[in-house]
Amino acid sequence: MSKVILLCGSPRKNSNTMDVLSACAEEIEKEGVDTEIISLKNESIRSCIACNKCVSTGNCILNDGLEEIIEKIRNADGFIPAAPVYFGTARGDIMAALQRIGKVSRGNDKFLDWMVGGPIAVARRGGHTLTLQEMMMFFSINNMIIAGSTYWNMVFAGPEGTAFEDEEGINTIKLFGENVAKIIKKIN
Ligand SMILES: Cc1cc2nc3c(=O)[nH]c(=O)nc-3n(C[C@H](O)[C@H](O)[C@H](O)COP(=O)(O)O)c2cc1C
């Protein structure tokens, strides 16, 4: 069965980003594609140290839990990272994770090739588009397929548990999720 990994970059317990990813995953599942949401909440993801060891070993030598996440992405058909916006850009952990995931893929079996997905940004007021653009760089350099929607993948939410108040944002994400699943099914 095809599978999509959704990666949540929020440290919060009742995270808006997690709520948005849950809505997205629900639509993907409705299309008969399996999902798994992984949270970085309890992780301390280090940045790439440019050791290039992944080129010879096939995985990252930093022992902080990202290797297991990389293995799950390696075996998936779709990948959706989602970030809360911090000071106008993506929270640091998710970018550190994306840079290491991309480095391992490019230096080895290129497991990201033709993987379907796209980024999601969640913020109280501003910085969504730059955050999406920042995360989009990961997709286009890694030969991935970015699914569309009828707006950009952004949701407005500040206090915990407010993501569903942005109805247009949630609907945009739902259609995006549906499209990710449909593209995966077409490819397969
Ligand atoms: C350090 C920090 C910086 C933030 N910077 C921004 C920002 O630049 N723009 C914005 O609209 N919201 C900003 N926020 C608010 C969060 O993006 C918002 O609360 C979001 O819903 C958090 O998602 P989460 O619940 O998934 O963690 C910031 C929050 C924190 C903790």
State pLDDT tens for residues 73-119: 999 999 999 999 999 999 999 999 999 999 999 999 999 999 999 99
Q: Is the distance from CB of 8 to CB of 39 less than 8 angstroms?
A: yes
pLDDT digits (tens, 9 = 90+) for 145-185: 999 999 999 999 999 999 999 999 999 999 999 999 999 99
pTM greater than 0.85 (yes/no): yes
Name the superfamily (CATH) of residues 3-187.
Flavodoxin domain (3.40.50.360)
Q: How far is the CA of 136 from the centre of ligand 1 (A)?
A: 19
User: Nearest to residue 82, comparing CAs of 29, 25, 33, 27?
Assistant: 25
pLDDT in tens, 25-40: 999 999 999 999 999 9
| Ligand 1 touching residue 92 (CB < 6 A) | no
CA 20 to chain centre: 12
The pLDDT score that the predictor gives to residue 49 is: 98
Nearest Cα residue to atom 3 of ligand 1: 86
Q: Which of 13, 85, 129, 166 to mutate to test the pocket of ligand 1 (most atoms within 8 A of CB)?
A: 85
Structural domain spans, the chain: 3-187
Per DSSP, the residues of 75-131 read T-SEEEEEEEEETTEE-HHHHHHHHHHHHHHHHTT-TTTT-EE--EEEESSS-HHHH
Least Cα distance to 40 among 71, 69, 72 occurs for 69
- How high is the pLDDT of residue 30? 98
Q: Is the CB of 13 under 6 A from ligand 1?
A: no
